Structures are given as structure tokens and as C-alpha cells.
Amino acid sequence: MLLVTGGAGYIGSHVALELRRLGRDVVIFDDLSRGHRDLAGDSVLEVGDLKDISRVREVFARYTFDGVLHFAAKSLVGESMAEPLDYYRNNLVGTTNLLAVMKEHGVGRLVFSSTAAVYGEPETVPIVENAPKKPTNVYGDTKWFIETMLQNLNRAYGLRSVSLRYFNAAGADPGGSVGEDHTPETHLIPIALDVALGKREKLMLYGSDYPTPDGTCVRDYVHVSDLAQAHVLALERLEVGKAECEAYNLGNGKGFSVLEVLEAVRRITGCPIPVESAARRAGDPAVLVASSGLAENVLGWKQEFADIDVIVKTAWEWHKARA
């Protein structure tokens, strides 16, 4: 039995779906603050908040878990700067409770949902795993703090973990059963698709004076189903006892500017997507592109949906159906 915290959210729901497809028994733990009950699919859903340790203990007493995949967290960069205490409490207290109860029950395998935000403004791209960790926002801070916690827990108690640092997760399950549905939505592709659906009038373009070829930010968009595969590989690596405490970047390896993404959205949707120029968004680095060589070489990760048009198309199909 596997526990997936945050399994009713965007990335967690894709991972839980992939685990179910592989015939694994999955229990989802989610407070449904940002997640959606229907995204839990056929998994058992335990509604609860990781900050409530007695609720976490109750769930661990009910099932015997072989491993945990931990997604439950607040994950909006802007919000984390406006409400830092909320982020520290939610992400750090929640995770500490989870880790404490895992220890009480002798559950020693964890796949942890980390982020490119641990690197902050990179000195060189593509970014490799041992690049300096200098988060420029509270969200990234909380994820990096947890990664260092995992190193210390490995040394002290032998907890084995794999942290996966996602770049820009995008797209939706090609089968259409799960996808991205954030409230509030802040991400580029879903906002552009809302414009295509007529739910928003235009997209605000945050900065066109970056030191990039077209002046807009370059990001590494990686398909969420490919991310899900990486979690399965990480879990298997823990299950065969190969990993102690590891971290991998997960990205496409290709950068796309905001304008290039908008072109892809126009191609796929056939809609014009009006844009209004706006000031830079605080804390947005100019270029974030991953080196994912380590995940490919060590985990054996291969992307199936690396094409930006495929990424946008799967997102578009989900968005249309959800509208």
C-alpha cells in the first residue's frame, strides 16, 4: 500500500493514476484546499490536513504503508512571498508531522515533490543538481529546507528518499481523466487556455525586457505524465534498495519563451490569444532550463511527451472538457 499526500492535486493525481494503472494500491491523503475530490479517481481518499498530527496517525494506523509519495504543499511563488508564515506552517509543519509518523510506523521510503525554485536565479544553464541552492522565494525555501531535512533524517534514522525537482509541469493525462485545475490559476498555459475558452479577455505578459532572444522569460515545460513516470522509477529505485538520499532534476531540457508558448497555444487552439504587456513579476528568473541527464542515466527516465505542441494539446483537451 502506498500513501500519496496531495494526490487530489495536479501532479499528485497524475502520479496516483499511474500507480493505479500499474496495479498498486494507493491511499490519497489530501485536505482538498486546492485539490479536487474527482481527481482522486478510484483511489481511497482520506481527507485530512498534515498539520493535524493526530489525523495523520489515524491514517497510518488504518493501513500498512510500504512507501510515501509526498506532494501536499502550498506551491504558489507570489502567495508564498505575501503569506510566508502560511507557507512555513503548511509546508514545514505538515512535512515534519508526516516524517515523524512515518518514523513511528517504520515507513522508510519517500518520494518527495521538490522544485526548480530551490536554485533561485541560476548562475549557469542548463541547471545541474549540484548547482548552488539559493531560493529567491519562500516556496523554494520551504522545499529546500525539506530536502536538507531528508539528508539529516537519512543520516540519523536511515530514512531513504528521492527528491524530484520539477521545472515547469504542464499538460494533462492524454486519457483525459486528470489535469490541471488551480484556483487561483497563476500558470502560463492554463491562463492562455482560459483566454482561448473566452473565460478571460487577455493574458498579461509579465516582462518583455529580459535578456533573452525575444525579451520574455524562458522556461522548461515538462509533461506531467512524464513526471509521473519519473516518480514510478524513483519509487522502484527505493524499493530495490538502491537510493539512500538522492535528488534529480526533471525537465524537458529545452527552453521555450513565453511568446513561443503562446504561439503553440494559438496553433493548437486556433484562437488569437490577445496579450497585454505588463511589468515583470517579482522573483521571476530570466531563464530556467534543466539538465535532466542524471534522471535519464540513473533512473532510466525517458520522456514520451516532450513536444511543446503535445504538451499544450493534452492541456487543451482537458481544459475544454472541464470548462
Residues that bind ligand UFG (CB under 6 A): 75, 77, 115-117, 139, 168, 186-188, 191, 203-206, 217, 219, 258, 281, 284, 288
Let me know: does 110 contact 102? Beta carbons within 8 Å. Answer: yes
Given the complex with ligand UFG, which of 212 and 244 has the nearer CB atom? 212
Given the complex with ligand UFG, which of 47 and 273 has the nearer CB atom? 273
Given the complex with ligand UFG, which of 33 and 152 has the nearer CB atom? 33
Given the complex with ligand UFG, which of 69 and 77 has the nearer CB atom? 77
Query: How far is residue 108's CA from residue 65's CA, in Å, rounded to a whole number?
Result: 10
| Catalytic residue annotation | 139
Length of the chain: 323
Given the complex with ligand UFG, which of 142 and 161 has the nearer CB atom? 142
Q: Is 274 exposed, middle or buried (0-12, 13-18, 19+ CB in 10 A)?
A: exposed
Given the complex with ligand UFG, which of 60 and 256 has the nearer CB atom? 256
For 37, 90, 188, 284, 304, the CA distances from 4, given in Å and listed in that order, are 14, 17, 26, 30, 23
CB of 100 to ligand UFG, least distance (A): 26
Q: What three-state secondary structure class fits 91?
A: helix
CB of 255 to ligand UFG, least distance (A): 11
Query: How far is residue 63's CA from residue 66's CA, in Å, rounded to a whole number?
Result: 10
- Indicate the Cα dihedral angle 98, 103, 104, 110, nearest 10°: 50
Dig out the grid coordinates for 202 from the structure.
Answer: 487577455
DSSP 273: -
What secondary structure does DSSP assign to 175-244, as a single string?
Answer: TSS-----SS---HHHHHHHHHTTSSS-EEEE-S-SSSTTSS-EE-EEEHHHHHHHHHHHHHHHHTT--S
CB of 76 to ligand UFG, least distance (A): 8
Dig out the grid coordinates for 271 from the structure.
Answer: 484562437
Let me know: does 161 contact 150? Beta carbons within 8 Å. Answer: yes
Closest residue (Cβ) to ligand UFG? 217
